[in-house]
Amino acid sequence: MNFKLAATGEEIGLFAADGTQVDAVTFGQQTNDVSAGRCPDGSTTFVLMPGSASPRAANYLPAANSAPVLNPIGDKIIFLGQTLVFTATASDTDTPSQILQFTLDPSPPPGATISSAGAFVWMPSAVGSFPITLRVTDSGVPPLTAAERITVDVLPVPAFARAVRNGDELALTWAARAGQPYAVDYKDRLDAPTWTPLWTNLAWGDSLSFTNSITHSPQRFFRLRAGWSAPP
């Protein structure tokens, strides 16, 4: 513009071509480094905004933006070959509502991704414990964040460690992870198209066993699964 406003106070208006007033402001004595304006943008309230001048951007109060709150995620346990899938969620008390976007802090395990809406997907390629930090960022000015660091334990594919036959009973034993579910399926013929679910249980220690009656079964094949999902 080819003019400036007086620091001692003045009036300024915006008018349409037909002379209709679109907006007008009357202000008094100004203070160095303190801007004034509608906050949030478009409201009828004018406020002083010390230290937060934002030409060509939204008006904001430095103390007005509160950080988002990331809902607890917690550590995860999966088995190699499984895909870890969950949705991170968060909330923000600011009004009007802000846009929340999710990211992973550098450097996540190879292949781990999260969408801006919080959908996390990862299929590990190795056994081990992997730390991952998930972060949510709001659209306030300045933007604020919240984060949680979780550990994902990737366990080896479970396998039978011992099979002992005692008459018409067969006892199967394998290493387990406490708190994790395991399932045993069977086929009487290896070329049968599907496995039949036989037994499921939750491990309470570092091993688990199952005894199956094999009466009237000239042969039987067993499969060990981690989790409760239906067999293919």
Which range in 6-15, 30-39, 70-79, 91-100 is most confidently predicted, on average pLDDT?
70-79
**How far is the C-alpha of 8 from the C-alpha of 62, rounded, in Å?**
25
Token code pair at residue 131: 């730390």
pLDDT band, residue 153 (cuts 50/70/90): very high
**How far is the C-alpha of 192 from the C-alpha of 102, rounded, in Å?**
46
The least confident of 20-34, 37-51, 205-219 is: 37-51
**How far is the C-alpha of 223 from the C-alpha of 141, rounded, in Å?**
56
The single-letter code of the amino acid at 70 is L
**How far is the C-alpha of 100 from the C-alpha of 138, rounded, in Å?**
5
pLDDT band, residue 96 (cuts 50/70/90): confident
HSE toward the beta carbon, residue 74, CA cutoff 13 A? 3
pLDDT band, residue 122 (cuts 50/70/90): very high
pLDDT of residue 137: 97
User: In the predicted model, is pLDDT for residue 231 greater than 60?
Assistant: no
DSSP β-ladder status, 76-79 and 145-155: parallel
- DSSP letter string, 80-139: TT--EEEE--EE---SSPPP-EEEE-S-PPTT-EE-TT-EEEE--SS-EEEEEEEEEE--
Question: What share of the chain has pLDDT > 70, as a percent?
Answer: 95
Furthest CA-CA distance within the chain:
103
Residue 59 sits at the vertex; the CA angle it makes with 56 and 64, to the nearest 5 degrees, is 150
Q: Are 146 and 135 in contact (CB under 8 A)?
A: yes
Query: Which 8-state DSSP code applies to residue 227?
Result: S
Query: Which 8-state DSSP code applies to residue 49?
Result: E
Cα dihedral: 167, 172, 173, 179 (round 10): -130
Q: Which residue ranges form the domains of the chain, and what is each CATH number?
A: 1-64 (no CATH), 69-155 (2.60.40.10), 160-226 (2.60.40)
pLDDT of residue 227: 66
- The residues, any chain, with a CB within 8 Å of residue 60's CB and separated by 6 or more, are 39, 40, 49, 52, 54, 140, 141
Closest CA to 83 of 115, 113, 118, 116: 113
Which range in 17-26, 112-121, 176-185 is most confidently predicted, on average pLDDT?
112-121
